[in-house]
Chains A and B, each alone.
Chain A
Amino acid sequence: MTLPLSFVFFVLLGLSVYFYYHAKSGIVRKAALLSDRTKALPSHYGQQSFLWAFIPSFLILLVLTIGGPNYIDQIFYNKIQELNPTFNESFVSLILAKVINVSNGKISTGEENIIMLAKDYKIAFEQLHFFRGLVVILCAALLGMIISYRQKPGSNAREQVEKFIVNIFFASAVIAIFTTVAIILSLFFEALRFFNLYNFFDFIFGLHWAPNVAIRTDQVAAEGSFGMIPVLLGTLLISFIAMCVAIPIGLFSAIYLAEFATPKIRDFVKPTLEILAGIPTVVYGYFAALTAAPFFREIGFSLGLDVSSESAIAAGAVMGIMIIPFISSLSDDVIRAVPQSLRDGSMGLGATKAETIYIVILPAAIPGLVGAVLLAVSRAIGETMIVVMAAGLSANLTVNPLESVTTVTVQIVSLLTGDTEFDDIKTLSAFGLGLALFFFTLLLNIFALSISRRLAERYD
């Protein structure tokens, strides 16, 4: 008899739901018998039973499903090693892999021993599944019965249920923080491996970026050079151009929407802007490469300037357009959140609308505006697609927006795609770049927050 995972899970769920209703009606009956009032709502007793039936059994299910197969593998590994003490580790692993594949029917073999082991392996797995199903269902039934039996009208189910819910919130917060820390740590350790191979200071102060090491070991190639300055400068340049486009347009359109537009115009413009935010970046990439870049080239040509066919200004300008809706939509909400009473107060003193906006409303809205801009900057720094398509891959050390540049994210992508080995310097340098980018955005955030704290005028 096999008990597959989905079957066990649905039985568990069904049992838990059953205990919910069982406890809910049970407590009403008990209360009626004792002619007593229940301390909490009947549904709280139901929830309590549900949780007791569901959560522990679900955890057991999780542990057995994840840990069980590993345990069986370990047993078979030991078994194979016992049978052939002369085999070394990797050979044992190889045989084990073969056994597993044979037992799954993925490959077939004539070797008697392996067929035997594969049969045993299959049986072990069936036993595990049967055991898992049995334990989980029994545990759920038992706990559900016990808790429903023990519930009294006077016992406070609400407290336990609510405590549990608080713990779920807490656990979610911990998971969010934990995963962030884990990601940063993994980035950090990979970067550390890179810095073992390449001098840290050469990396952060180096002016030359050319990661052209040999792809195959027999290839002859120049020694790679990993100075991140040109790449970081490219990111800065493109983000700067993007912000020059996006901040004024986004902010001004937000002010218009929030303070001047009639409801009719607002109802039309705001959804339109939000559609702009939903366009995939690849489409913006096309636009940048096929429309914006030739456009800037033509303008440059007519001015007697030499604009490269892949230019920072094309990518930056299109990226700016992409970001406008972020800034305008968020800023609009922020500006409208400033209380009407402040506007009235200012107008009542004889201020014009414009004076009211820039002396009273904008300072009061600054923390939110800075948040909106920060979000947009992060988008700009992290954006890859547009740059790949419109600004190129060559790491020029330049601040001239007419030349082609590359950015940190684009380099990371090009370093990590294709056939790469995960321990050569080229691949590892991507983690160095990642870490540098992380610290850079962190600094940017701290800086922006401190500015906003200084300028902000808090209303309550």
Chain B
Amino acid sequence: MTSKFRTKKVEVSYGDKKAIRDISLDIEKNIITALIGPSGCGKSTFLRCLNRMNDVIENCSIKGSIHLDEQDIYGPDIDPVELRARVGMVFQKANPFPKSIFDNIAYGPRIHGLASNDSELKDIVHNSLEKAGLMDEVKDRLNDQATGLSGGQQQRICIARAIAVSPEVILMDEPCSALDPIATAKIEELMNELCQSYTIIIVTHSMQQAARVSKKTAFFHLGDLIEYNDTDKIFTQPENQKTQDYITGRFG
């Protein structure tokens, strides 16, 4: 059991307002970890710390330390741009670029120079689409606009786009919040396959989803990490009363 991320006493504030405080947890390699908690409790904020997307937000400051493979990602010798290539992100709302399907997937490999020629690039794109379970649906229209796809297909484009960069970790912020049960099932299936080679961290509002896909679950409440344990444990015999209340739907 090796840990991929190790966070210690992480605290994030927007201006003077603390969004999360004192978050210390280890995230294991090659499993799915779920972050749950009521709206506004800081799940997205925590997720964005892991690939330094908070840097882009003005007035956002972070304290504490986060290590990726024993390397401090807020250290002076870390380039956030390179970090984000290692730690990919899929957002809550599908945000394909207004380009062709092919160009969407090829975007990351192109900017990182992952393919030395056109046929390699093609292979990467095809592989990523294959892994995202989208190949059959779009193989005849790789040159069509990605924005013309359905919401679920767009979200899987975004996942394929993240995979194409071959990251070590994929962060997913409520990837299924706008999807129907069938598309959701497809994405969950996909996550299950992906976690053999990637570390996946997913934010979700659906207890069932967390219970179905994740191996470990962290429960956040009002900026605090209340409980972090094996998913089975959290959902069957939570240690904290707040966790108990939340997963049984008594608040949040």
Which chain A residues have a beta carbon within 8 Å of chain B's beta carbons? Answer: 262-263, 339, 341-352, 355, 359-360, 363-364, 457-460
- In Å, the complex CA distance between A342 and B82 comes to 19
A263-B58 Cα distance, complex, nearest whole Å = 10
Knowing A344-B53, A457-B98, the reply to whether A349 touches B91 (Cβ < 8 A) is no
Of listed B51, B83, B91, B98, residue having the most chain A CB within 10 A: B98
Assess the B84–A348 pair: CB atoms within 8 A.
yes
Known: A344-B95, A347-B56, A349-B89. 10 other contacts (CB 8 A): A263-B58, A346-B107, A348-B91, A350-B83, A351-B111, A355-B111, A360-B97, A363-B99, A364-B98, A460-B147
Chain A residues within an 8 Å CB radius of B88: 348-350
Chain A residues near B51 (CB-CB < 8 A): 348
A-B contact pairs, 29 of them (CB 8 A): A263-B58, A339-B95, A344-B95, A345-B96, A345-B158, A345-B161, A346-B107, A347-B56, A348-B51, A348-B84, A348-B88, A348-B91, A349-B84, A349-B88, A349-B89, A349-B165, A350-B81, A350-B82, A350-B88, A350-B108, A351-B81, A352-B81, A360-B97, A363-B98, A363-B99, A364-B97, A457-B97, A458-B147, A460-B147
Contacts A360-B97, A363-B98, A457-B97; is A347 near B84 (CB within 8 Å)? Answer: yes
**Cross-chain contact B99 with A457 (CB below 8 angstroms):** yes
User: Is A347 touching B98 in the complex (CB atoms < 8 A)?
Assistant: no
Q: A326–B116 Cα gap in the complex (Å)?
A: 42
Residues of A close to B99: CB separation below 8 A = 363, 457
A342 to B154, CA, bound (A): 13
Instruction: Give CA–CA (A311, B35) in the complex, Å.
Output: 68
CA distance A345 to B96 in the complex (A): 8
Least CB distance, A459 to chain B, in whole angstroms: 4
Query: What 6 pairs between A and B have smallest CB-CB spacing?
Result: A350-B85, A348-B89, A457-B98, A341-B95, A350-B84, A345-B95
> Which has the most chain A C-beta neighbours within 10 Å: B82, B96, B107, B161?
B107
Q: Is residue B162 contacting chain A, with contact meaning CB distance below 8 A? A: yes
What is the distance, in angstroms, from B131's C-beta to the closest C-beta of chain A? 16
Which residues in B have their C-beta under 8 angstroms from that of A359?
107, 111
Contact A459 B147 (CB under 8 A): yes
- Per the bound structure, the CA–CA distance linking A352 and B107 in Å amounts to 12
CB-CB contacts of B52-75 with A at 8 A, as 1s and 0s?
A: 010010100000000000000000
Which residues on B sit within 8 Å (CB–CB) of A343? Answer: 56
Interface members, chain B 196-242 (any A CB < 8 Å): none
Is there an interface contact between B98 and A458, defined as CB atoms closer than 8 Å?
yes
Q: Is B8 an interface residue (CB 8 A)?
A: no
Chain B residue at minimum C-beta to C-beta distance from A263: B58
Let me know if B93 is at the binding interface, CB within 8 A. yes
The distance from the CB of B4 to the nearest CB of chain A, in whole angstroms, is 18
A355 to B97, CA, bound (A): 13
| CB neighbours of B84 from chain A (8 A) | 347-350
Rounded to whole Å, the gap between the CB of B178 and the closest CB of chain A is: 13
Question: In the complex, what distance in Å separates the CA atom of A346 from the CA atom of B84?
Answer: 10
Could you tell me the distance between the alpha carbons of A364 and B162 in the complex, rounded to whole angstroms? 21
Q: Which residues of A contact B58 (CB under 8 A)?
A: 262-263
Instruction: Decide: A341 and B93 in contact? CB cutoff 8 A.
Output: yes
CA distance A352 to B110 in the complex (A): 12
B112, CB-defined interface residue at 8 Å: yes
CB atoms of A342 and B147 under 8 A apart:
no
For the residues of A in contact with B, the DSSP-based class is helix
Q: Contact check: which of B83, B86, B91, B112 meets A341 at CB < 8 Å? A: B91
Report whether B147 and A344 are in contact in the complex, using a CB–CB cutoff of 8 Å.
no
Q: In the complex the two chains form, is B112's CB within 8 Å of A350's CB?
A: yes
Nearest Cβ on chain A to B46's Cβ, whole angstroms? 15
Please, how many angstroms separate the alpha-carbon atoms of A458 and B98 in the complex?
6
Per the bound structure, the CA–CA distance linking A45 and B111 in Å amounts to 65
Of residues 102 through 118 on chain B, the ones whose CB sits less than 8 Å from some CB of chain A are 107-108, 111-112
A346 to B53, alpha carbons, bound, how many Å? 11
Q: Distance (Å) between the CB of B81 and the closest chain A CB?
A: 5
Q: How far is the CB of A352 from chain B (nearest CB, A)?
A: 5
Q: How far is the CA of A355 from the CA of B82 in the complex (A)?
A: 13
Q: How far is the CB of B15 from chain A (nearest CB, A)?
A: 13
Q: Please, what's the 1-or-0 string for B139-177, where 1 marks a CB less than 8 Å from any CB in chain A?
A: 000000101000000000010011001000000000000
User: Which residues of chain A are near B89, meaning CB under 8 Å?
Assistant: 344, 348-349
Q: Nearest-CB distance from B42 to chain A (Å)?
A: 18
Question: CA–CA, A263 to B84, complex, Å?
Answer: 26
Give CA–CA (A46, B83) in the complex, Å: 67
Q: Is the pair A347, B107 in contact by a Cβ cutoff of 8 Å? A: no
Report the minimum CB–CB distance from A77 to chain B (whole Å): 68
Report chain B residues within 8 Å CB of A344: 53, 56, 89, 91, 95
- Shortest beta-carbon distance, A455 to chain B, in Å? 11
Give every chain B residue within 8 A of A262 (Cβ-Cβ): 58
Measured CB to CB, the nearest residue on chain B to A456 is B98
A355 to B161 Cα, complex, angstroms: 16
The answer to whether A349 touches B98 (Cβ under 8 A) is no
Within 8 Å by CB of B85, from A345, A349, A457, A460, lies A349
Alpha-carbon gap, A122 to B111, bound state (A): 85
Determine if A348 and B98 form an interchain contact, defined as CB atoms under 8 angstroms apart. Answer: no
Nearest CB to that of B56 among chain A residues?
A347
Complex CA gap A343/B86 in Å reads 18
In the complex, what residues of A have CB within 8 A of residue B161's CB?
345, 349
Supposing A339-B95, A341-B95, A459-B147 touch, asked if A348 and B107 sit within 8 A by C-beta, the answer is no
Residues of A within 8 A of B158 (CB): 345
Residue of A nearest to B52 (CB): A347
